[in-house]
C-alpha cells in the first residue's frame, strides 16, 4: 500500500513545497535568497515530477498526470534562472560587478532594501 501511495505523496508534497519556495524566491528579500538551496530544489523537483509522471502514465490517470506535467513545465520554465541566481548571490559580487550588469542591461541594477530576485 505504501508503494502504491508514494507517487501521490511525492507529487503533492513536491507541488506544495515548490509553490511555497517559488513565491519566496521571487518575492522574498534578495539578501535572504539561498541560491544553492534554490538550485537543489529545482533539480529535485524536476526529477521527482518526471518519476511521478512516468508512474501516472502507467496507471492511466490522465487528470493527475496533467497536473504533474503542468508543474514540471513550470519547473522547466524556471530552470534558466538558476545560473543567474547562483551568479548574483555569490559572495564575490562587488559594486563594480553590479555596475557592469547595469551597463549591460541599460538601467541601474543593484541590491537595495526591498530588492527581489
pTM as predicted: 0.81
Beta-carbon contacts of 103 under 8 Å, excluding residues fewer than 6 positions away, are none
% helix, strand, coil for the chain, step of 5: 80, 0, 20
Give the residue-averaged pLDDT of 71-96: 89
Q: Which three cell numbers stand for residue 14?
A: 513536491
Grid cell digits, residue 97: 560587478
Per-residue pLDDT reduced to its tens digit, 33-79: 899 999 999 999 999 999 999 888 877 778 899 999 999 999 999 99
Q: State the burial class of residue 90 (Cβ atoms within 10 Å of its Cβ: 0-12, 13-18, 19+).
A: exposed
Q: Are 30 and 115 in contact (CB under 8 A)?
A: yes
Domain locations in the chain as residue ranges: 2-105
Amino acid at each position: 500500500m505504501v508503494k502504491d501511495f508514494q507517487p501521490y505523496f511525492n507529487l503533492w508534497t513536491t507541488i506544495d513545497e515548490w509553490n511555497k519556495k517559488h513565491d519566496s524566491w521571487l518575492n522574498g528579500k534578495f539578501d535572504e535568497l539561498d541560491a544553492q538551496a534554490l538550485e537543489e530544489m529545482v533539480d529535485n523537483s524536476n526529477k521527482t515530477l518526471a518519476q511521478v509522471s512516468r508512474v501516472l502514465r502507467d496507471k492511466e490517470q490522465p487528470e493527475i498526470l496533467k497536473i504533474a506535467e503542468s508543474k514540471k513545465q513550470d519547473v522547466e520554465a524556471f530552470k534558466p534562472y538558476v545560473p543567474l541566481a547562483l551568479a548574483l548571490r555569490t559572495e564575490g559580487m562587488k559594486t563594480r560587478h553590479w555596475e557592469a550588469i547595469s551597463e549591460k542591461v541599460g538601467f541601474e541594477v543593484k541590491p537595495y532594501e526591498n530588492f527581489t530576485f
